[in-house]
Structure 1
Amino acid sequence: MAVIATGGTIASQRDETGAAKPSLSGENLLSGLGGDSASVKPVELMAKDSSSLTVSDMQAISDAVGVELANPAVNGVVVLHGTDAMEETSLLVHLQHRLGKPVIFTGAQFTADNPLSDGPANLQAAIAAAATPSNSDKGVLLSFGGKLLPVWGLYKRSADDPDAFDLAGPSDCPQSPEFSAPVDAIRIDIVAIYPGCEATHIDASLDAGAKGIVLCALGSGNANADVVDALRRCRERHVPVVVSSRVPEGHLVAGYGGGGGGHDMGAVGAIHSRTLRPGQARILLASLIAASARHRDMARAFNDFRD
């Protein structure tokens, strides 16, 4: 089995200033498990807080998973990752690889030197999940806080609870086409929508060369008339826009009119994201653009690949 270390809280300790920084290698973390680590190979990829990860870093992690999946001596893969961007990287790996072996992400809410450290238990559970061959049929999974979750629709729901993750809506982690094209050159911006907002940030993203835009919209994916006008400009410049929501759970429906509702945004070409929240929507949109997907294929993907 391979354990790919990328940093995060699970590998962090506090220094003399009190700041937590990734300082433990994968080998360090595995050595604390004793006999459970005897047949596990550490892969030291990077040591970053996941809040510092770039899309290029996420692509590097996905590529490293691909290397281990292709290794006949490896029967499962665990990725140690920070929780801030866990949902993004895990979805990218899910989209880019057809699994013949389990791939399990895990991390920690508390640093390795914290009396409440949850890293060792999460790592042990992830190794056990990666050693269960049938888990490969479920797509990439997250093992965290006693749960084993699919990554489609995954979001971090708590900043200080060991049970930190949940799903935005009921999902069986739908199978998708394999998106093999790298996404590190694809700029996708997320724009926050709030009551009374203007279209300033959408126009700024267009001017900055964004290849796609995700709206962190209100409610079931709603905004206002100024935003709808800006989406017409996006359409004119062939920049796809996906509408997600700041509401953490529930399936989104483009039902509202009134000049700025989800129905109005759909009428000017925006695509509603049924399940994925903004962070994951950004990864799926980047993958679709890298694959030169057509608008109707994008719409199907954001409808959880339902026809």
Structure 2
Amino acid sequence: MAHVQLLGTGGTIASRGAGDQGAVATDTAADLAQDRYGELTVTARDVLTTGSYRLTPGQLRTIAEAVRDALADPATDGVVVTHGTDTLEETAFLLDLVHDSAKSTVLTGAQQPADSPAPDGPRNVGEAVLAAADERLRGRGALISFAGTVRSARGARKAHTLAADPFAGGVEVAHLAGDELVVTAAPLRRPALPLPPPAFDTTRVEIITAHPGATPDLFDFAVRSGAQAVVLAGSGTGNAGPGFAEAVRRSVGAGCAVVLASRVPWGPVLPVYGNGGGVDLVAAGAVPSGDLNPFQARILAALLIAHGTPVHEFPEAFRPYC
């Protein structure tokens, strides 16, 4: 009989209305695991109970440590993490980066609070439990299960504020056809990185977005005020306007790593343009993020820096994961 551990962290799936004050996370992991799952057994415990928009890097580290401990239990066949959808893509990617177990970790949540007329949390939890327990999904790392689709953490992002399935991107690894889980793909896995150390809690990686008329003033301010890395969310394939290439050069020279990402939802960063575009930004020291969006690129950068990666070694450490 397969056994799954359910770790609760809060989010909409655990929230109930609070009148004019809005919904607040209050339900426990045990509340979310009330339904029976056939021959599967589920045990539940709370790691956190908060909205994911309030999470700190230290709390992400707490979640990662809880998942590690659950996966290390020989009686556990898989782990489910319930989480708010706002920042689920960041937590899922961090868990995937450090995932060194053959067992699956599956994150899920809800778009409707627990006390809504039609809550979607119970169905999502049931599907996530099935995915976490399925031996065919072993070796997939951290996954996201939502509204009948199971996708890789890497490359996934919240693409709609209110839709029943708000996530897009990543690689679909399975989907539900009736009550049957149909496995469709095995995404490429990178070598696992070590768990985030305590330094992760205070590692500052800022995101600066390029737009028409943008100046590098905010970029320079982030570096002066102590940022250890900056992710530049450029336009198109990774471009920015006048002054940014010089700002990148100053940043790297001051010991602050720079990652060049794109504000475009899908597609890789590819240096194509000069005159201050991606070619010049990379020549100044920015590291292209490949197909990582700015938010997941930020998580990778923070993890590497927390482990003490110096700026001159940062490109070599970053590239294998993008």
Q: TM-score, normalised by structure 2?
A: 0.88
Q: Distance in 2 between matches of 1:191 and 1:220?
A: 16
Provide the aligned length of Structure 1 versus Structure 2.
Answer: 301
Runs of 5+ consecutive residues of structure 1 not aligned to the other structure: none
Aligned-pair distance for 1:173? 4.5
In structure 2, relative to structure 1, the CA distance for the partners of 1:185 and 1:41 (3 Å cut) is same
Given that 2:153 and 2:170 are in contact with CA atoms closer than 8 Å, whether structure 1 keeps it comes out as no
Counterpart in the other structure of 1:49: 51
Q: Distance in 2 between matches of 1:159 and 1:235?
A: 36
Tell me if 1:3 matches 2:6: yes
Counterpart in the other structure of 1:104: 106
* Secondary structure, counterpart of 1:206 in structure 2: helix
In structure 2, relative to structure 1, the CA distance for the partners of 1:251 and 1:203 (3 Å cut) is same
The 10-residue stretch of structure 1 (145-154 or 284-293) with the greater mean CA deviation from structure 2 = 284-293
Given that 2:300 and 2:318 are in contact with CA atoms closer than 8 Å, whether structure 1 keeps it comes out as no
Give the counterpart of 1:281 among 284, 294, 297.
297
Given that 2:103 and 2:141 are in contact with CA atoms closer than 8 Å, whether structure 1 keeps it comes out as no
Give the counterpart of 1:25 among 12, 22, 28.
28
Q: Distance in 1 between matches of 2:5 and 2:26?
A: 20
Q: Distance in 2 between matches of 1:37 and 1:241?
A: 50
Tell me if 1:200 matches 2:207: no
The 10-residue stretch of structure 1 (97-106 or 2-11) with the greater mean CA deviation from structure 2 = 97-106
Q: Residue type matched to 1:160 in 2?
A: L
Q: Residue type matched to 1:103 in 2?
A: T
Tell me if 1:128 matches 2:130: yes
In structure 2, relative to structure 1, the CA distance for the partners of 1:40 and 1:286 (3 Å cut) is same
Q: Residue type matched to 1:298 in 2?
A: A
* Secondary structure, counterpart of 1:129 in structure 2: helix
Q: Residue type matched to 1:267 in 2?
A: A
* Secondary structure, counterpart of 2:67 in structure 1: helix
Q: Which has the higher strand share?
A: 2
Tell me if 1:12 matches 2:15: yes
1:264-285 deviations in whole A, cap 9, x for unaligned? 1001000111111111011001
Give the % identical residues: 35
Counterpart in the other structure of 1:250: 267
* Secondary structure, counterpart of 2:32 in structure 1: helix
Q: Distance in 1 between matches of 2:10 and 2:188?
A: 26
In structure 2, relative to structure 1, the CA distance for the partners of 1:30 and 1:278 (3 Å cut) is same
Runs of 5+ consecutive residues of structure 2 not aligned to the other structure: 173-185
Aligned-pair distance for 1:37? 9.5
Counterpart in the other structure of 2:319: 300
* Secondary structure, counterpart of 1:17 in structure 2: helix
Counterpart in the other structure of 1:185: 202
* Secondary structure, counterpart of 1:127 in structure 2: helix
Q: Residue type matched to 2:90 in 1?
A: E
1:61-210 to structure 2, matched below 5 A, reads 61-167=63-169, 172-182=187-197, 183-210=200-227
Aligned-pair distance for 1:288? 1.7
Tell me if 1:264 matches 2:280: yes
Counterpart in the other structure of 1:222: 239
Tell me if 1:235 matches 2:237: no
Q: Distance in 2 between matches of 1:262 and 1:253?
A: 7
Given that 1:272 and 1:299 are in contact with CA atoms closer than 8 Å, whether structure 2 keeps it comes out as no
In structure 2, relative to structure 1, the CA distance for the partners of 1:217 and 1:37 (3 Å cut) is farther
CA RMSD of aligned residues (A): 1.9
Q: TM-score, normalised by structure 1?
A: 0.93
Q: Distance in 2 between matches of 1:201 and 1:85?
A: 23
